[in-house]
A = this chain, B = another copy of it.
Amino acid sequence: MAQEKKMVEAITSMEEDFAQWYTDVVKKADMIAYSSVKGCMIIKPLGYAIWENIQKEADRMFKETGVENVYMPMFIPESLLQKEKDHVEGFAPEAAWVTHGGNEKLQERLCVRPTSETLFCDFYANEIMSYRDLPKLYNQWCSVVRWEKTTRPFLRSREFLWQEGHTAHATAEEAIARTELMLDVYRRVAEEVLAIPVICGQKTEKEKFSGAEATYTIEAMMHDGKALQSGTSHYFGDGFAKAFGIQFTDKDNQLKYVYQTSWGISTRLIGGLIMVHGDNSGLVLPPRIAPTQIMIVPIQQKKAGVLEAAAKLKEALSAFRVKVDDSDKSPGWKFAEQEMRGIPLRIEIGPRDIENGVCVIVRRDTGEKTEAAIGTIAETVGALLPKMQQDMYDRAKAHLESHIYEATDYESFCDIINNKPGFVKAMWCGDSACEDKIKEDLTATSRCMPFDQTPLADTCVCCGRKAKKLVYWGKAY
């Protein structure tokens, strides 16, 4: 009775303890299990099906921009990882090392990939000869390993699933345009598919990717006001190309270095999905990403005609991802279970409904119940699911906007960070010493320098020197 044991325990309310609420939801909604490998999680069918839907949507968008998928080895020889100085400094401290293969000690240690810039660069150095070979627009879906000390399901684990795109271009302009294009694809995945509004901008020097010239990010706000970095797109200039010798003969017959980008999203997005839309009854999934969009629950299902009517409803809704729960559990139990698992719509149908030619539709996000004619159920649901998707986005957007504050002096900046969940917009001098001080004082970090740089003030909110950039600040996952 594993299932029943799980369901009788209520989840912690998010107001009482948001972190515990999160842990309870991922466990009780049956998204993950802990494994015997410390810091690594098992992604169960609901969690994985959400990831498959994210993959399907993102992969389609990537391919529409000309990206092709490939697969690189999971191992990186130590000497290869060391070729780009900043990059190895960023990743070596968290690397997992293979030292033995088939009972023999390896001549050179192999790092289990934390990210694959070095492998793609090594590959590109052999593949790219002429401007005709450019651009290279490759991506891979795989898992990566970073030996983190503290871990949380989906948010930070020693192994996680992601995609990593790696492109090479003839000019800096083209590479920068690709960096921006992929950031916009990520914005669309977050906003249109996951109903998560994001703030787009550039990371500061301190927060950028090891080895990048510039890192762009989409930052989402969780229900507790904290930030989740949800996708990043990096512009490398020709730094990696010079370290790895990736040169091509251009149309003018000159030998030139390529310009590169990389960009990634991961199973972290599932953590964001939970913390943006979830409530005290569990997960709430936007219809576009929900593995099951509609669960039909027959009421008094042993009465003649009820299961048949439920099956007919399912048939009428076959354009959607629909199931019938005809298990021998009580309706109340089924409702609680489906709410916990975030299924967007529940349709109840019982003997009296059948007589009246109607059924009852219950929205997971609002709890709203409406009666709908059985004869036109596909049209009703076909209109309701996109509306629910939009409503969920709008609510998350309203939450985001109502939790963005502005500060022009350090005292009010600290007051907001300490007392108001959310992001603070404030001016910054550009010196990482101020970022260090803010992190030290408040455990907050610069989230991004938004693309809209309309200044709030002339001076840095921290040190009072001349301001250079508008920055979103906040506490982060």
Contacts and interface: CB of A to CB of B under 8 A. Distances in A.
A97 B99 contact: yes
A349 interface: no
Interface string A400-439: 0000000000000000000000000000000000000000
Contacts of A75: 37, 40, 159
A98 B77 contact: no
Contact of A73 (B41, B48, B74, B102): B41
Contact of A74 (B36, B44, B68, B143): B143
Contact of A159 (B35, B73, B158, B159): B73
A123 B36 CA distance: 8
A381 interface: no
A126 B119 CA distance: 38
Contacts of A100: 96-97, 99, 109
B129 A73 contact: no
A469 to B, nearest CB: 33
Contact of A72 (B35, B99, B110, B132): B35
A383 interface: no
Nearest to A133: B2
Contact of A69 (B36, B52, B147): B52
Given A36-B122, A122-B36, A130 B2 contact: yes
A78 to B, nearest CB: 11
A173 to B, nearest CB: 23
A282 B52 CA distance: 34
A128 interface: yes
Give the oligomeric copy count: 2
A36 B77 contact: yes
A102 B112 contact: no
A45 B70 contact: yes
B103 A93 contact: yes
Contact of A35 (B36, B52, B73, B158): B73
A339 to B, nearest CB: 20
Contact of A45 (B77, B138, B143): B138
Nearest to A75: B37
A199 interface: no
A95 B71 CA distance: 21
A185 interface: no
Given A93-B103, A96-B100, A147-B101, A40 B127 contact: no
A142 interface: yes
Nearest to A125: B36
A110 B2 contact: no
Given A35-B123, A77-B36, A147-B102, A71 B3 contact: no
A80 B38 CA distance: 13
A182 to B, nearest CB: 18
A325 interface: no
Contacts of A70: 42-45, 48
A94 interface: yes
A99 B147 CA distance: 12
Interface in A44-80: 44-45, 48-49, 51-52, 68-77, 80
A375 B94 CA distance: 61
A149 interface: yes
Q: Which of A45, A75, A161 has the most CB of B within 10 A?
A: A75
Contacts of A3: 132-133
12 contacts: A2-B129, A2-B133, A3-B132, A5-B129, A37-B110, A42-B71, A48-B70, A74-B145, A97-B99, A98-B112, A102-B147, A142-B143
* 4 closest residue pairs by CB, A with B: A102-B147, A40-B73, A45-B68, A101-B147
Given A93-B102, A112-B112, 17 more contacts: A2-B129, A3-B132, A3-B133, A36-B119, A36-B122, A40-B73, A48-B71, A51-B71, A52-B69, A75-B159, A95-B102, A96-B98, A96-B110, A97-B99, A98-B98, A102-B147, A102-B149
